[in-house]
Structure 1
Amino acid sequence: MSVERITAAENPTFPHILSHATKVPGLIFLSGQTPVDKEGKVVPGGIQEHTAQCISNLGNVLTAAGSSWEKVVKVNVYLKNMDDFAAMNEIYEKLLPTPKPARTCIQAAKLPNDVIIEIEAIAAV
């Protein structure tokens, strides 16, 4: 089986610890994306702006891998505070195509760089 490492030029890179995604025949496994810009700085705003940035970053990776949000089959959302669930869902519902992929959302005690959200996904090619 061939394994391809995917990097999205629009996202900050961390090649020493991860690939933006790993592509195998038929599937793409996207690493968790946090609400950071190209320079790796957390974008201003609250949960809605941060959710939008995570979705945008994942979209960049999907494009680089030859896929799209329409082919995403599973999403995992990690929230620092589950009280942000409803506000996160407002943006998630607006930005993701219908039908929505399967999803899990959990509260995580601590996320990288103390961000308030991280999102990862699995997509078809």
Structure 2
Amino acid sequence: MKRTVDVDGAPGPVGNFSLATTDGDLVFTAGQVPETADGEVLRDASIEEQTRQCLTNLDRVLDAEGLGMDDVLKTTVYVVDPQMWSRVNEAYGEFFDDYPARSVVGVTGLWGGIDVEIEAIAAAP
């Protein structure tokens, strides 16, 4: 049965969606953007800093279910400028000991003028 995940310490959704849902076995997160817990959108920050904030938010969402980054099975990374991929990849690598599967999607634009957004599927133990 589907359940919405209650998340404290991460930016809340802007719109009609949940930060994450679960069926008890898998956790599906919404795309995490480079927004701090106090609502500051890091649109003018470097792509590395934006990526780190997305992954920090992702970690907070997973933590609400007692999970961590090592429980992530797959991520999807949306990036506006594929030429920045090596910089995104460098920051991304700081968050995982055991890399999940990953898809990278080049997009023409993201909410609020940001450069990167990351979503994930994680396994509940």
Same fold (TM over 0.5): yes
Alpha-carbon RMSD across the aligned residues, in angstroms, is 1.3
Percent identity of the aligned residues?
33
1:72–1:124 contact (8 Å) kept in structure 2: yes
CA deviation map 1:24-61 (0-9, x unaligned): 13100010000001132213521000000000000000
Q: Does 1:35 align with 2:34?
A: yes
Match of 2:123 in 1: 124
Evaluate the alpha carbon distance shift between residue 31 and residue 113 of structure 1 in structure 2; reply closer, same or farther with a 3 A threshold.
same
After the TM superposition, which segments of 4 or more aligned residues of structure 1 sit over 2 Å from their partners? none
The one-letter code sitting in structure 1 at the alignment partner of 2:79 is L
Q: CA deviation at 1:7?
A: 2.8
Paired residues in the alignment total 123
The one-letter code sitting in structure 1 at the alignment partner of 2:8 is A
Q: Distance in 2 between matches of 1:36 and 1:67?
A: 21
Q: CA deviation at 1:17?
A: 1.2
Unaligned runs of 5+ in 2: none
1:47–1:87 contact (8 Å) kept in structure 2: yes
Unaligned runs of 5+ in 1: none
Judge which range, 75-84 or 32-41, deviates more.
Answer: 32-41
2:69–2:95 contact (8 Å) kept in structure 1: no
Query: Structure 2 length as normaliser, TM-score?
Result: 0.92
